[in-house]
Amino acid sequence: MPRPRKRLAGSAELAGPDNKGPAGKRTKTKNPVGASAQVVNSSPQKTSASKTCGKNLSSYWLMKSEAESRLEKGVDVKFSIEDLKAQPKQTACWDGVRNYQARNFLRAMKLEQEAFFYHSNCKEPGIAGLVKIVKEAYPDHTQFEKNNPHYDPSSKEDNPKWSMRSSILF
């Protein structure tokens, strides 16, 4: 399954429903996972354990963000959980996703759903915290900004291709 991508002043990735993360490697999570920078995401779903024991286990999205500096078109796309903590009200938008599957995952996320904030592109990759979706998907403004590394000249303001959403640390 291709890796979806998304960007927020940094980068994050969304892991697919098959639980495969970067480079197609299986992630070591007990629950399948799957909301803005370069992103790995998977749709929330119930595990087989929840079917057999009759209990609803929590489901989470996985939002992968690049915790260390990386330049894209001359712009540093780093965004770590520390960057999120420094934002007003510890809330930030997830912008710059330029992968159709990741975009669709962003659009599927609902208010109040939770996501693991995953650090990649760093010495110790892993889950760094938990975030909550606080705003439904809306057009990503960076697709129209010519000086932005996520500019997409084929996207039109009356029919935008790309979406973003907002999440909060909790």
What H or E segment, with its residue span, contains residue 104?
Answer: helix 100-108
Q: What mean pLDDT is reported for the chain?
A: 76
Q: Mention every residue, 6+ apart, whose C-beta is less than 8 A from residue 99.
A: 2, 3, 4, 5, 6, 39
pLDDT at site 33: 35
What dihedral do alpha carbons 17, 21, 25, 28 form, nearest 10°? -80
pLDDT at site 59: 85
Q: Is the pLDDT of residue 36 over 60?
A: no
pLDDT in tens, 72-89: 999 999 999 999 999 999
Start-to-end CA span in the chain (Å): 30
pLDDT in tens, 89-130: 999 998 888 999 989 999 999 999 999 999 998 999 999 999
Using pLDDT thresholds of 50, 70 and 90, give the confidence band for residue 51: low
